[in-house]
Amino acid sequence: MKTVAAGLGILACAFAAPVWVYAWPFIGTARLELGLGLVAGPLLAGWLIERWRHKPVLVAGLVLLGAALSGLQSAPDAWMRPLMGVLGLGAGMTLLAASALGWASGAASPAAALNRLHMLLPVGVILFLPLGLPNLGRLAVPLAAVAVAAALWTRMPPRAPVPPEPVAPGAARRPAIARLALLLFLYALSEAAIWSLLVPLMSAAHVLARETSWQMLCYGVPLGLIAGRACSARLLANVPPPGVVRVASLAMAFSTALLLLARSPSASWIAVLLVGAAMAPVLPTVLAMAAASLPRWPAAGMGMALAAAWLGLAASTPLVLWGASSPRLVAAMWLLPVASLAMAAVAPPKRAE
């Protein structure tokens, strides 16, 4: 039942996906409120979970997320900025609380468990992205209500005993949380650019019509994410998480370069699927590593790493705003393979677990 509650929380977060894809380049100064909420949400949730555990934090995040998505459909313009802040806060809290609940579920490999759980994010994108913002507002409250009911019904794991210091002889070799946060910052910058600029990129390269490019965005990237996380969940049973992250980073560099070099529809579709599959394991695996790097405060560790990812989303804004109308977009997008190679350099060595 814990997995069901966490899965519904992850699925509810997918409701916010159209905001990133449709509205992020166009919501003007409301980006500040949304970004502040996204960064504050996981930091606050991580601290609260360490004090009061998962249930109240997951319920509070779901209530804020559903209320903001519903209110955005009918609220006057004056309420846009505060509602965007509430949306960011609710999405950040819900994603962190659901991920922390999945990590604490007692699985043999927490990283594999998080990869399976985070498969629901691209599933939700496939379901919700084609609906558009108006229809999502009408569905937000029922789904949030179901997720809240599941969270209230579920018996959450008790607080684990705090390990003494030092945790273990090899604890000093654990990857520093700052290193993992930087890795997720670079990852989120790259993924945000893919989601926001894939359609104008295909148009600028004269590869696909705009309508076909939207279909590639709505289905190609999420299907690649689903396949990649399914494979990673099995791979993590035998391969240490740092090794998976490093290979995924190198695969991102190769696949994004392939996407930029593609000059036919079939090659573009293959490249987009590969990009999604390469990106897939990074977020859930690094979140599991962040929790393990702070064994006394695992939820707080995940919160710091996830907040860094949202900062990467904010950092992508200048590239997104400039690239959406720039004739040199294709050249600028070569920053993505460079960022992926930087991720591979930042990734902790294989001995760190």
Give the model confidence (pLDDT) of 316-341 as tens digits: 877 766 666 666 777 778 889 999 99
Query: Can you give the residue ranges of every domain in the chain?
Result: 2-153, 174-346
- Residue bearing the bigger pLDDT, 217 or 30: 217
How much is the pLDDT for 20? 56
Q: What is the C-alpha separation between 88 and 153, in angstroms, rounded? A: 25
pLDDT bucket at 228, cuts 50 / 70 / 90: very high
Ranges 174-178, 185-189, 256-260: which has the least confidence = 174-178
How much is the pLDDT for 325? 64
Instruction: Let me know: does 278 contact 232? Beta carbons within 8 Å.
Output: no
How much is the pLDDT for 212? 85
Instruction: Let me know: does 193 contact 295? Beta carbons within 8 Å.
Output: no
pLDDT bucket at 233, cuts 50 / 70 / 90: very high
- The pLDDT tens digits of the residues spanning 100-112 come to 988 887 678 889 9
pLDDT bucket at 176, cuts 50 / 70 / 90: confident
Token couple for 224: 């690649």
Q: Is the pLDDT of residue 64 over 60?
A: yes
Continuous H helices in the chain = 2-13, 17-18, 30-52, 54-74, 80-103, 110-118, 120-128, 132-153, 177-204, 210-215, 221-235, 241-261, 265-279, 282-293, 298-315, 317-323, 329-332, 335-346
Q: Which residue has 């997951």 as its token pair? A: 58
How much is the pLDDT for 173? 44
How much is the pLDDT for 351? 52
Read off φ and ψ for residue 263, nearest 5 degrees: -130, 20
Say whether the peptide bond before residue 166 is cis (omega within 30 degrees of 0).
Answer: yes
What's CA 104's distance to the chain center, in Å? 19
How much is the pLDDT for 291? 92
Alpha-carbon Rg of the chain, whole angstroms?
A: 19
Q: Is 2-153 assigned to CATH 1.20.1250.20?
A: yes
Q: What is the C-alpha separation between 241 and 8, in angstroms, rounded? A: 25
Cα atoms in the Cβ-side hemisphere of radius 13 Å centred on 261: 7
- The pLDDT tens digits of the residues spanning 242-295 come to 999 999 999 999 999 999 998 888 999 999 999 999 999 999 999 999 998 888
Mean pLDDT, the chain, whole residue set? 82
Token couple for 243: 């090794």
- The pLDDT tens digits of the residues spanning 28-43 come to 556 678 888 889 999 9
Q: What is the C-alpha separation between 298 and 91, in angstroms, rounded? A: 19
Q: Is the pLDDT of residue 80 over 80?
A: no
Highest average pLDDT, of 138-147, 189-198, 302-311, comes from 302-311
Percent with pLDDT over 90 in the chain: 34
CA distances from 211 to 123, 171, 200, 337 (A): 21, 51, 11, 26
How much is the pLDDT for 54? 83
Q: What is the C-alpha separation between 146 and 62, in angstroms, rounded? A: 10
DSSP calls for 46-57:
HHHHHHH-HHHH
Largest CA distance in the chain: 60
Residue length of the chain: 353
How much is the pLDDT for 163? 45
Token couple for 101: 């609940």
Report the top-level CATH class of 174-346. Answer: mainly alpha
DSSP class of 130:
G
| Averaged pLDDT, 127-147 | 72
How many other CB atoms sit within 10 Å of the CB of residue 85? 22
